[in-house]
Amino acid sequence: QRRNALLLAGTCSALASVAGVCLALSFTLAPSQIYAWVGVVFAAVMYAYGQRAAGGMLRFGRRLAGDNGESSVRLAGQAIRGVALGVVVTALVQAVLGGIGLAIVGVPYAVVLTAVMFFFAVAQIGAAPVLVLAVIWLYWTGDTGWGTFLLVWTVVVASLDNVLRPILVLTSNSEKELP
């Protein structure tokens, strides 16, 4: 009887400490979850009411500086659209090319890693961390030939960020003029 009581007390104590750690971890992760949900709600509101907000900004610009104010607001919107286009298209190209490289060398879960590369590239981290870890894995497993190939491929894919994005941003905004 006493032994069961001691075992139960020890188990309850261990469960209490595990619950405390889980509670502390949830408080640590809660702000990032809140930020993510606020971002989702903000994106949904902007998607639903974006045209109305854009019209309000155009009226504000016209009221503030006349025709120059309205054209400045339009130019700012086109610049934002161009940068967003450059970021997303560059991320897509990097992820696809990185995924092709992973598939060629035979890295397992290449599709999942391609999705991770896309999210990293959109978040401005780039595809290089995933590709570098794959290169390390290939060298670790003894596939030095494929590791070297993927290393060269990683340099090419990572360099696209510095070449392709500026080209996309400039071409999407090349015909616009400042007021």
pLDDT tens string, the chain, 179 residues long: the values are: 666 666 666 666 666 677 666 666 666 666 666 776 777 777 777 777 777 877 888 888 888 888 888 888 888 877 777 777 788 888 999 999 999 999 999 999 999 999 999 988 888 888 999 999 999 999 999 989 999 999 999 999 999 888 888 888 777 665 555 44
User: Do residues 91 and 98 lie in contact, with contact meaning Cβ atoms separated by under 8 Å?
Assistant: no
User: Do residues 96 and 114 lie in contact, with contact meaning Cβ atoms separated by under 8 Å?
Assistant: yes
Residue identified by tokens 């503030």 is 64
User: Do residues 91 and 122 lie in contact, with contact meaning Cβ atoms separated by under 8 Å?
Assistant: yes
Question: What pLDDT does residue 179 have?
Answer: 47
Question: What pLDDT does residue 55 have?
Answer: 83
The model carries a pTM of: 0.65
